[in-house]
Copies of this chain bind each other. A is one copy, B any other.
Amino acid sequence: MVRRVGLSTGGGDAPGLNAVIRAFVKVAVGVHGLEVIGIEDGLAGLVGTPRIQPLSFREVRGLLPRGGTILGTTNRGNPFRFPVRDATGSVSEVDVSSQVVESAKSLGLEGVVMLGGDGTLDIGRRLMDLGLPIIGVPKTIDNDLSATDATFGFDTAVGIAAEALDRLHTTAESHDRVMLLELMGRNAGFIALNAGLAGGADFIVLPEIPYDLEAILACIERRRTSGSHFAIGVVAEGAVSKHGELSLLGDAAPGGNARLHGAAAKLEAELSRAGCPLEIRTTVLGHIQRGGTPSPADRILATRFGVEAANLAARGDWGKVVRLRTPDIEAVPLADALHTHRVDPEGQLIRQAEALGISFGR
């Protein structure tokens, strides 16, 4: 009898998900003779009538360069707290985890390979405890999982952000302006830090290093006295102020970037008061960072994750997560892969950036 495994993608999309799916199917089916069942919209596809699609060579043809996920994903993919709308329209959360486990079993799935971040992988760990074998593939565009040297999607996001910074440079220089670019990163500032380094930012504001507006003003002023009448600043979504002021931007909810504008207006006023009347313009890159074709490095990393996840599934080596330990892909226990990390304010990369004259507002 053909062994059958499930495959699902959870959480926000990241460039490379389709490349994982393609590699997983090619190896699981082509090398190991498994049958692969794609589950739609995270694990939500196992709640109620199963929404699934068999995945063979045919379905994954042409997927390598395509962004997004053909399986769909959702932010309401936690079966332990599954949102349900009652007749009156109000929403409450219920635990449908046993339904998910039952559904997987009745579909004949030996286990489920879950692509997701720390939240999704933790759900996987709990489902494993309920009897559903799980293999995890780490996915976080923020690159903030400590178990792996890198996650796919991150290189693409940094590339899109760096290209935006290149574009802002020419306008900033032509107009004598301070340009602020807000990038993803609520808890971890790896995207902002790397994009800022690659795009030649003058200051970078990270969730990990509370900023002091005075320090940023001083940075801009230093540039001006050295003859550069413009500046480029990168601001992570989760930036926080040292003095408890409103953060430059507190959340990504509708209305959120009004706060970035507010901070910009304040910065502009301070600069003007200090005799440095530069215009400030803000841009919020938003969802553009996570869409589109993955970079070559992300395609390769995603592909390798997919191959090794298929090898694990074929061996029946459940309860594992694949990860990059340069230069190899390895497997580690699921429980080891749930930890996020953040930019180290005293780490080498920050010190190198500061040596280059980049201000972190401290």
Which residues does A use to contact B, with CB under 8 Å? 9, 12-13, 15, 17, 23, 26-27, 30-31, 41, 57, 64-69, 72-75, 149, 155, 158-160, 162-164, 166-171, 173-176, 179, 194-195, 197-200, 226, 254-258, 261-262, 264-265, 281-288, 290-292, 295-297, 299-300, 303-304, 307-308, 310-311, 326-329, 348-349, 352, 355-357
Contacts and interface: CB of A to CB of B under 8 A. Distances in A.
A168 B300 contact: no
A284 to B, nearest CB: 6
Contact of A200 (B9, B64, B170, B264): B64
B287 A284 contact: no
A299 B173 CA distance: 20
A282 B304 CA distance: 28
A287 B169 CA distance: 10
B27 A356 contact: yes
B170 A291 contact: yes
A303 B197 contact: yes
Contacts of A226: 57
Given A13-B174, A159-B296, A265-B254, A291 B67 contact: no
Contact of A287 (B160, B194, B283, B326): B283
A291 B168 contact: yes
A76 to B, nearest CB: 10
5 contacts: A68-B171, A149-B326, A198-B296, A254-B282, A257-B257
A161 to B, nearest CB: 8
